[in-house]
């Protein structure tokens, strides 16, 4: 049954792709975003890409109880996907209060407004960073959690809060999704990752090297206990992440209470393998040099993705080549992200795209 889904952080990287996926499957979508780390241009692109408008889009901070309540009063929300949060690990160490305030405080405000409006169905954006420095991979949902930074702790705290709320309120239905490393872009090239400033994450950095915006990639360490010594991650195509959220919404009523699932592919890729795959996809070599390890990095994070497959009969379908191809297409068509120079038409809005 199509439903009205409120998406917090809907203009962000994962949020925008999820909105397109929801619209494509007939759901009505209402976006709430404060645009602190996302562009309002993404909202136009969501509608263009899906070929359908959003039911509503509000410039609202999830900590603003009054404004959030007005959104719930105006729209008959059936379920919520909660992405809105700060997400940079390094930054969280320097700004812990801001991280706890936005990520934990924002979630509490949202939960309380949801309850006031009798909305009790939630998909929560968690992270594989809750597992910390994994002793063994692949990681199942039962693997020990041991977050190593404030960002990861905010995600784990929110999971705990949601468990408590589910214990207290019999009508609550919560799915917490622990994502591994979302990368890639919509195959149209209209939507993608648009980090502000120097990218923290490897994939957008590599893409900016390929397009000539940055000179070379620094590979953070080649002395990890991994096959080629560089860090191994479970990269997952953002379209698979988006699909996973849509499927989650459609499974919210499977059972009461809270369930937690990994969202990954089960395949590990090293930094050097990623560099090679991107070079192949772009047809350009990616200059890189080995430098010291990045403090706080772990050797290997790979999901055991079998629980979600068993629960929803759903798995990811897009491989590393597709992740690189789509990220490269977005980068080429949007060399400056969503921001345009005056007079310049935004790529993806000019009709020159024919892929996907």
Query: What is the rounded CA–CA span in Å between residue 279 and residue 273?
Result: 10
Beta pairing partners, 4 = 28
Q: Does 102 bind ligand UFG (CB under 6 A)?
A: no
Q: Does 271 bind ligand UFG (CB under 6 A)?
A: yes
| Stretch of 52-60, 78-86, 194-202, 312-320 contacting ligand UFG, by CB under 6 A | 194-202
Question: Which CB atom, from 129 or from 334, has the smaller least distance to ligand UFG?
Answer: 129
- For ligand UFG, which residue of 86, 87, 120, 245 counts as binding (CB under 6 A)? 87
Cα separations (Å) of 131 from 134, 135, 307?
A: 6, 9, 16
Q: Does 312 bind ligand UFG (CB under 6 A)?
A: no
- For ligand UFG, which residue of 195, 294, 319, 322 counts as binding (CB under 6 A)? 294
Please report which helix (H) or strand (E) contains residue 281, including its range. helix 271-282
Q: Does 100 bind ligand UFG (CB under 6 A)?
A: no
Catalytic status, residue 151: yes
Beta pairing partners, 42 = none
Count the site residues for ligand UFG by CB under 6 A.
Answer: 20
211 and 331 in contact (C-beta within 8 Å)?
yes
62: Cβ contacts below 8 Å, ≥ 6 apart: 8, 32, 34, 68, 82, 84, 102, 106, 107, 109, 110
Binding mask 140-179 for ligand UFG (x = CB under 6 A): ---------------------------------------x
Query: What is the rounded CA–CA span in Å between residue 350 and residue 330?
Result: 14
**Following CA atoms 108, 111, 115, 116 in sequence, which dihedral angle do they give, to the nearest 10 degrees?**
60
| Active-site annotation holder among 151, 179, 205, 224 | 151
Question: Which CB atom, from 114 or from 320, has the smaller least distance to ligand UFG?
Answer: 320
| Stretch of 52-60, 196-204, 237-245, 251-259 contacting ligand UFG, by CB under 6 A | 196-204
The CB-of-172 to ligand UFG minimum distance in angstroms stands at 25
- For ligand UFG, which residue of 67, 220, 229, 280 counts as binding (CB under 6 A)? 220
- For ligand UFG, which residue of 297, 307, 309, 315 counts as binding (CB under 6 A)? 297
Token readout for 148 is 């190593």
Residue closest to ligand UFG (Cβ): 231
- For ligand UFG, which residue of 77, 158, 191, 202 counts as binding (CB under 6 A)? 202
Question: Which CB atom, from 284 or from 294, has the smaller least distance to ligand UFG?
Answer: 294
Q: Does 181 bind ligand UFG (CB under 6 A)?
A: yes
Residue 319, Cβ density class (10 Å: 0-12 exposed, 13-18 middle, ≥19 buried):
middle
Beta pairing partners, 290 = 219
Phi-psi region of 233 (alpha: psi -120 to 50; beta: other; left: phi over 0): beta
210 and 286 in contact (C-beta within 8 Å)?
yes
The catalytic residues are 151
Site for ligand UFG, rule CB under 6 A: 87, 89, 127-129, 179, 181, 200-202, 205, 217-220, 231, 233, 271, 294, 297
């Amino acid at each position: 049954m199509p439903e009205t889904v409120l998406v917090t952080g809907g203009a962000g990287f994962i949020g925008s792709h999820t909105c397109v996926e929801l619209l494509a499957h007939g759901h009505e979508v209402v976006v709430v975003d404060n645009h602190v780390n996302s562009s309002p241009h993404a909202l136009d692109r969501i509608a263009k890409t899906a070929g359908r408008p959003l039911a509503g889009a509000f410039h609202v901070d999830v900590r603003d109880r009054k404004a959030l309540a007005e959104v719930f009063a105006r729209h008959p929300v059936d379920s919520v996907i909660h992405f809105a949060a700060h997400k940079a690990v390094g930054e969280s160490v320097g700004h812990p209060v801001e991280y706890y305030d936005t990520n934990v405080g924002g979630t509490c405000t949202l939960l309380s407004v949801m309850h006031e409006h009798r909305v009790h169905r939630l998909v929560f954006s968690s992270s594989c960073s809750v597992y910390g420095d994994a002793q063994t991979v692949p990681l199942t949902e039962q693997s020990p959690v041991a977050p190593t930074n404030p960002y990861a702790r905010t995600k784990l705290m929110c999971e705990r809060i949601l468990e408590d709320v589910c214990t207290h309120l019999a009508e609550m239905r919560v799915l917490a999704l622990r994502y591994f490393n979302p990368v890639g872009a919509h195959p149209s090239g209209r939507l993608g990752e648009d980090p502000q400033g120097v990218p923290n994450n490897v994939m957008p950095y590599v893409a900016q090297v390929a397009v000539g915006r940055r000179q070379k990639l620094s590979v953070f360490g080649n002395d990890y206990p991994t096959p080629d010594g560089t860090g191994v991650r479970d990269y997952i195509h953002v379209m698979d992440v988006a699909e996973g959220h849509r499927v989650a919404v459609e499974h919210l009523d499977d059972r009461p209470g809270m369930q937690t699932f990994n969202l990954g592919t089960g395949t590990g890729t090293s930094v050097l393998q990623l560099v090679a795959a991107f070079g192949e996809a772009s047809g350009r070599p990616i200059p890189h040099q080995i430098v010291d390890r990045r403090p706080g990095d772990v050797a290997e994070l790979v999901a055991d993705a079998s629980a979600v497959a068993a629960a929803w009969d759903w798995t990811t379908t897009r491989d590393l080549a597709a992740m690189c191809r789509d990220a490269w297409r977005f980068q080429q068509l949007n060399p400056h992200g969503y921001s345009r120079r005056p007079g310049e038409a935004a790529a993806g809005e000019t009709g020159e795209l024919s892929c996907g």
